[in-house]
Structure 1
C-alpha cells in the first residue's frame, strides 16, 4: 500500500516539484497551499507523514506542527518542517517536528528524510 504524504506550502511551484518528485518515488501525495484547520485536514486525508512550510500566510507552520503533535488523534504522525530560514527554526525551537529540510532542498536529501521518518514511524508502531 502506498504511503500518503500531506504537504502544505503556500508556494505552488515548490508543491509541484515536491509532488512530482515524491510521486516518482512511489508515494501518494496530497498538496495544499492553504489550511485553516490542520487537524481537520489530517483527519480528512489520513496521511502517513505531514510536511509543513515554516512560513505560511496567516499561520506559522511550526504552530501547525505543535497542534498535530499535541492532539492524541494525530500525535503519532511524523512531521517534517521545510524552510529557507533554518536560523528562524533554531531560535524558536522545533515545535516537536521529527525532521527539518532546508530550502532549496536537494531531492536526495528530501527522499532520505521522508524515508527515514516513515521508517522510524513503522519501527515505533511495531514495538
Structure 2
C-alpha cells in the first residue's frame, strides 16, 4: 500500500511540483489549499504525513493547524513537516510540534529525502 501524503499550500505551482515529485516516488499525494477543512480532509484521506506551508495567505495560521493536528486523537502521531521561506532568516519554530522543517525554495531531492526520513524509517 502506498504511503499517503497530504500537502497544504496556498501556492498552486508549489502544490503541483510537490505532487508530481512525490507521486513519481510512489507516494499517494493529495494537495489542497483548504486550511479551514484540513482535519475533515485528513479524516477521509488518512495521511501518513502532512506537509504544511508555514504562511497561508488570509487563512488559518500554520501554527494553529500544526497544534490541531498534533492534539487530534487520530493524527497526533502523524508526522508534520513545515515548509517556510523564513527558516533561513532565523525564525523560531521551536514552539511548534512539527517533526521537520524544509526551507523554501527547496530542491525536490531534498524534499523526497526528508519525506522518506519521516515516513519510511
Please say whether Structure 1 and Structure 2 have the same fold, judged by a TM-score greater than 0.5.
Answer: yes
1:22/1:80 CA distance change after superposition, 3 Å: same
Identify unmatched segments of 5+ residues in structure 2.
none
Deviation at 1:19, TM superposition (A): 0.5
Number of equivalent positions: 120
Give, in angstroms, the shift of residue 10 of structure 1.
0.3
User: Structure 2 length as normaliser, TM-score?
Assistant: 0.91
Aligned-residue Cα RMSD (Å) equals 1.6
Output the TM-score relative to the length of structure 1.
0.87
Q: Which runs of 5+ in 1 are unaligned?
A: 121-127
CA 1:24 to 1:66, structure 2 compared with 1: closer, same or farther past 3 Å? same
Runs in 1 of length 4+ with deviation above 2 angstroms?
87-94
Residue equivalent to 1:18:
18
Which structure shows the higher helix fraction? 1
Question: Measured at CA, do residues 97 and 118 of structure 1 come closer, stay the same or move farther in structure 2, by a change above 3 Å?
Answer: same
